[in-house]
A and B are shown apart, each in its own frame.
Chain A
Amino acid sequence: MTATKTTAAIALLAASTLALSSCASSKRDEGAKKSGNAANTSATLNFGAAGAPATFDPFYASDGETFRVSRQIFQGLVGFKPGTAEVAPRLATSWKPSADGKTWTFKLKTGVKFTDGTPFNAEAVCKNFKRMDSQNKAGQTASEYWLANMGGYNGAKDELYQGCTAKDAATVQIKISRPTSKFPALLGLPSFSMQSPTAMDKYKANNIKAQGQGFVYSDYANAHPTGTGPMKFQKYDKTNKTVTLVRNDDYAGDDKATVKKVVFSIIPDETARKQALASGQIDGYDLPNPVDWPTLKKDDNLEIRPAFNILYLGLNAKVDPDLKDLRVRQALYYAINRDQLVKSQLPDGATVATQFIPNTVAGYNKSLKPYKYDPKKAKSLLKAAGKSNLKITLWYPTEVTRPYMPAPDKIFNAIKKDWQAVGVKVTPKPLPWAGGYVTGTQNGNAAAYLMGWTGDYNTPDNFLGNFFSDPKGQMTVGAYPWGDKLHKALSDDDSVVDEAQRATAYEKLNKQIMEDYLPGLPISSSPPAIVFSKKVTGVTPSPLTDEHLWTAKVSK
């Protein structure tokens, strides 16, 4: 009887399959299938992404996975010279600030169209800025880069952005409240890319709302991102976790796409990505684990980016008063064998940091020498400070890897050993990155902790400002006597208009921070890598992770 049942079931299934297939039909576009075995310009670049893009409207985004996608389909007024963090013309051909550095005039590229046909011109630019500036409540928290860089919305007090006026079709003027080193570099951030006003109106781009614990984005953000870039959005297959971009054939730039398609396959697991590359399933992925570099160097093109990040050990004297004494902080610094650490736990080309900004940033002080590994000196300093048997709780994150911190626990272990060697008692406090670590450290509850930063654009303020400008922030610099001085110095130096002067000012500040203040211990800068299979060439690695995937040359 069971047998008859099963046969019946099978028959039923077969019948239904037939029934369905009669109404179902292939909707695939026949061109697609050829892509596998075709000449370069019709090739597909299949890139392994670590996570799904949060949204396709970069304005609301803050994470690399999203930006990588939007960087292919959008362009900002300014861009960056490939392979560097230098500001370069993009949709604006040239720009110049007024004497007081508060009014910036941009000359726009002409004959540019958004992929929906809308012409790109001064009016479009201003529409974009207006849109960014006028956000609803949800939008104001979601568009975090604007908040962080522009400091507010709708002319809020001390908002940086002051307005945009179209002088003529090809000239636009942007006013800001104070001179700042960020400008115009920050306009190169993907968040501030130019998007088609028509598309944004049509698909209610500003229609974002908070729901449950997250944001619900507009149709525009979900399915109709429209830019001027060399690629354009085709589809996001959520069930297969793939995003497909196709070449924008009427792209105005001279760096037209050399691939027909860029497909992002989302593979969250690091090892799975590597193996997908090894098996030829994907043509490349970002941030390979340093332990795989040797193999990847051998079998693929491992592109190592210039280091544009900093790993530091934050200290907080408010939590642990023992740290108030500079000698103690210095002792802890001397006690760490950073050469060993960098050699054994950080990727090739990682460097021991001498200050809180990587050496590629203007204002980097070359004269500064690293605190050499010197346990004896550390001991004596502790003795002098009367803290020979210092106890300290060292926080480190779990369930995370960062470009500046490939394996937090191993780095922790190394530091712990070194500190114990000079008689410091270390209590480990591991916390999940998203499970309390970030909150704890950023709210200044951690006496000592591992943290880091990857630059958004090439200004010292992007690093130092973030670490120290808030006196009650992570390292609670406000608790130190020199706290206010540091705070003032930061804002002053940032508003120096002349680049050369600004650079020297920052060099001075960096020296001070390292020698007189030492609020935390910069550990290292690690070059993040991006890897492509041997058959992919032509993508220049960028310190800002601003890789132009469309320039890839995919050979058979």
Chain B
Amino acid sequence: MLRFIVRRLLQAVLVLFIVSLLLFTWLRKLPGGPIDAILGERATPETRAALRKTLGLDQSIPVQYLHFLNNAIHGNFGTSTQVQTGTDALDLFFQRLPATVELSVLALILAVITAIPLGYFAAKRHGGFLDTGSVVLSLVGVAVPVFFLGFVLKYFFSIEWHMLPPAGRQNPDLDATRITNFYVLDGLLTREYDAAWDALKHLILPAITLASVPFAVIFRITRASVLEVLNEDYVRTAESKGLSERIIRGRHVLHNALLPVVTTIGLQVGALLTGAVLTETVFGYPGLGDALAQAFRQRDYAVLQVLILAAALGYILVNLLVDVAYAIIDPRIRTR
């Protein structure tokens, strides 16, 4: 087990290295770049040249990369030029991380608690009304572009009915205290319940939007694998033992059926990051996705590097975690 984890981590390092190399060269090859973003129409050839020099963009790419690596090892990934000018890109990452984690976790929870039960009962009543209905729903879930769903939700719940805020993370007037920067959690910790509630209200629409795709996927996997398990001999054995519905559902059906689901949830993390870019843009939600979209539009190299590397790393780690979890719940792997 341990060896497995170590090996995977080493692979992760390798992958990250490759990604960073590709990333770096790619960014440097891009036309334009931070200077244009910084100076805009005020960029005369002179000022541009001067800036290039100060920023060391006039050196050869390998040299720049070595600089980058060297700095990176010292935990310095450069400075944001646009998204949050002057902020160390890594700091920026950590400032934005809680927002996105808060959002993704809520979205994932929403997806899981709706998708798995629905998937189970759909499979139980295979071909029934609930089944067909929820299948269609899940298919529509993937067919609707995430950002459009966001627009529609916002249009009705915020603009038309003024039920929920359309953008942002928390009303600054509340002047809430920050501890972990997970606003909902902070609100609870400091007993500023109004702040927590306000933060939550800001989360609802984005979370629903973000949950749409994972919901669809998890639902479909759950349904498929429950269908399969229900036809397994050991379920029949369990029935022949006269066990109660509850035991059979939990111990014999779900425990087996959820194995593939666990992996899927892991894979959804990638989808969540993707969705976060769109969702956070639509809802002006100050998370990583929002930073990423901005960094792309305004060619904020440092931020792009950190965010993409972090995305890759996070993705790898989560999947490693999933594999470990898988091993824990599946004895066939654990005891091999």
- Assembled-state Cα–Cα distance A53/B84 (Å): 7
Is there an interface contact between A442 and B44, defined as CB atoms closer than 8 Å? yes
Is there an interface contact between A272 and B76, defined as CB atoms closer than 8 Å? no
Which one of B5-13, B183-191, B215-223, B231-239 is at the A interface?
B183-191
Is there an interface contact between B301 and A434, defined as CB atoms closer than 8 Å? no
| B194, chain A: closest CB distance, angstroms | 8
| A556, chain B: closest CB distance, angstroms | 14
Interface string of B287-306 (1 = CB under 8 A from A): 00010011001110110000
Is there an interface contact between A275 and B158, defined as CB atoms closer than 8 Å? yes
Is there an interface contact between A451 and B41, defined as CB atoms closer than 8 Å? yes
Q: Which residues of A contact B34 (CB under 8 A)?
A: 213-214, 434
Is there an interface contact between A239 and B39, defined as CB atoms closer than 8 Å? no
Q: Which residues of B contact A431 (CB under 8 A)?
A: 31-32
**Chain B CB within 10 Å, residue with most, of A52, A213, A239, A241:** A213
Pick from B54, B86, B166: contact of A279, CB below 8 A.
B166
Pick from A55, A212, A276, A438: contact of B41, CB below 8 A.
A438
| B323, chain A: closest CB distance, angstroms | 18
Interface string of A447-475 (1 = CB under 8 A from B): 00001110000000000001000101100
Q: Which residues of A contact B192 (CB under 8 A)?
A: 26, 28
Which one of A32-40, A189-197, A408-416 is at the B interface?
A32-40
Judge if A367 is at the interface, Cβ distance under 8 Å.
no
Which one of A126-134, A216-224, A477-485 is at the B interface?
A216-224
Is there an interface contact between A33 and B37, defined as CB atoms closer than 8 Å? no
Is there an interface contact between B54 and A439, defined as CB atoms closer than 8 Å? no
Is there an interface contact between B167 and A267, defined as CB atoms closer than 8 Å? yes
Which one of B14-22, B123-131, B171-179, B263-271 is at the A interface?
B171-179
Q: Which residues of A contact B195 (CB under 8 A)?
A: 28
Which one of A136-144, A178-186, A318-326, A339-347 is at the B interface?
A136-144
| B102, chain A: closest CB distance, angstroms | 10
Is there an interface contact between B86 and A438, defined as CB atoms closer than 8 Å? no
Q: In chain B between 145 and 204, which residues have their CB closer than 8 angstroms to a CB of chain A?
A: 154, 158-159, 162, 165-179, 181, 183, 185-186, 188-192, 194-195
Is there an interface contact between A217 and B86, defined as CB atoms closer than 8 Å? yes
Which one of B133-141, B278-286, B312-320 is at the A interface?
B278-286
Pick from B43, B71, B186, B286: contact of A442, CB below 8 A.
B43
Is there an interface contact between A54 and B31, defined as CB atoms closer than 8 Å? no
Interface string of A278-319 (1 = CB under 8 A from B): 111100000000000000000000000000000000000000
Is there an interface contact between A210 and B56, defined as CB atoms closer than 8 Å? yes
Is there an interface contact between A241 and B169, defined as CB atoms closer than 8 Å? yes
Is there an interface contact between B45 and A442, defined as CB atoms closer than 8 Å? yes
- Assembled-state Cα–Cα distance A10/B160 (Å): 37
Q: Which residues of A contact B254 (CB under 8 A)?
A: 2
| A288, chain B: closest CB distance, angstroms | 15
Is there an interface contact between A21 and B57, defined as CB atoms closer than 8 Å? no
Pick from A2, A244, A276, A439: contact of B250, CB below 8 A.
A2
- Given A44-B173, A434-B36, the answer on whether A240 and B162 have CB atoms closer than 8 Å is no
| A44, chain B: closest CB distance, angstroms | 6
Is there an interface contact between A237 and B167, defined as CB atoms closer than 8 Å? no
| B279, chain A: closest CB distance, angstroms | 11
Q: Which residues of B contact A373 (CB under 8 A)?
A: none
Is there an interface contact between A275 and B79, defined as CB atoms closer than 8 Å? no
- Assembled-state Cα–Cα distance A28/B167 (Å): 23
Q: In chain A between 16 and 63, which residues have their CB closer than 8 angstroms to a CB of chain B?
A: 17, 20-21, 24-29, 32-33, 35-36, 44, 46, 51-55, 62-63
- Assembled-state Cα–Cα distance A36/B329 (Å): 52
Q: In chain A between 134 and 168, which residues have their CB closer than 8 angstroms to a CB of chain B?
A: 137-138, 140-142, 144, 147-148
Judge if B95 is at the interface, Cβ distance under 8 Å.
yes
Judge if B81 is at the interface, Cβ distance under 8 Å.
yes
Q: Which residues of B contact A473 (CB under 8 A)?
A: 44-45
- Assembled-state Cα–Cα distance A215/B299 (Å): 15
Q: Which residues of A contact B54 (CB under 8 A)?
A: 137-138, 141-142, 210
Q: Which residue of A lies closest to B302 (CB)?
A: A212
| A333, chain B: closest CB distance, angstroms | 21
- Assembled-state Cα–Cα distance A348/B67 (Å): 51
- Assembled-state Cα–Cα distance A240/B51 (Å): 31
**Chain B CB within 10 Å, residue with most, of A148, A238, A437, A472:** A238
- Assembled-state Cα–Cα distance A137/B286 (Å): 33
Judge if A399 is at the interface, Cβ distance under 8 Å.
yes
Q: In chain B between 50 and 94, which residues have their CB closer than 8 angstroms to a CB of chain A?
A: 50-51, 53-57, 68, 71, 76-89, 92
Is there an interface contact between B86 and A215, defined as CB atoms closer than 8 Å? yes
Judge if A435 is at the interface, Cβ distance under 8 Å.
yes
Judge if B42 is at the interface, Cβ distance under 8 Å.
yes
Judge if B274 is at the interface, Cβ distance under 8 Å.
no
- Assembled-state Cα–Cα distance A472/B49 (Å): 14
Judge if A109 is at the interface, Cβ distance under 8 Å.
no
Q: Which residues of A contact B132 (CB under 8 A)?
A: none
Pick from A17, A141, A453: contact of B51, CB below 8 A.
A141
* List of 10 A-B pairs having minimum Cβ-Cβ separation, nearest first: A212-B78, A436-B31, A214-B79, A54-B85, A272-B284, A32-B175, A438-B36, A267-B284, A434-B37, A24-B189
A-B contacts, 16 of them at CB < 8 A, read: A20-B189, A26-B177, A44-B173, A138-B54, A141-B51, A141-B54, A212-B68, A215-B86, A217-B86, A239-B178, A239-B181, A276-B168, A402-B41, A438-B40, A439-B31, A439-B33
Q: A54-B85, A211-B78, A263-B172 are in contact. List 4 more A-B contacts (CB 8 A).
A: A1-B255, A21-B190, A273-B167, A439-B43
Spell out B's residues near A (CB within 8 Å).
30-45, 47-48, 50-51, 53-57, 68, 71, 76-89, 92, 95-96, 98-99, 154, 158-159, 162, 165-179, 181, 183, 185-186, 188-192, 194-195, 250-251, 254-255, 258, 281-284, 286, 290, 293-294, 297-299, 301-302, 329
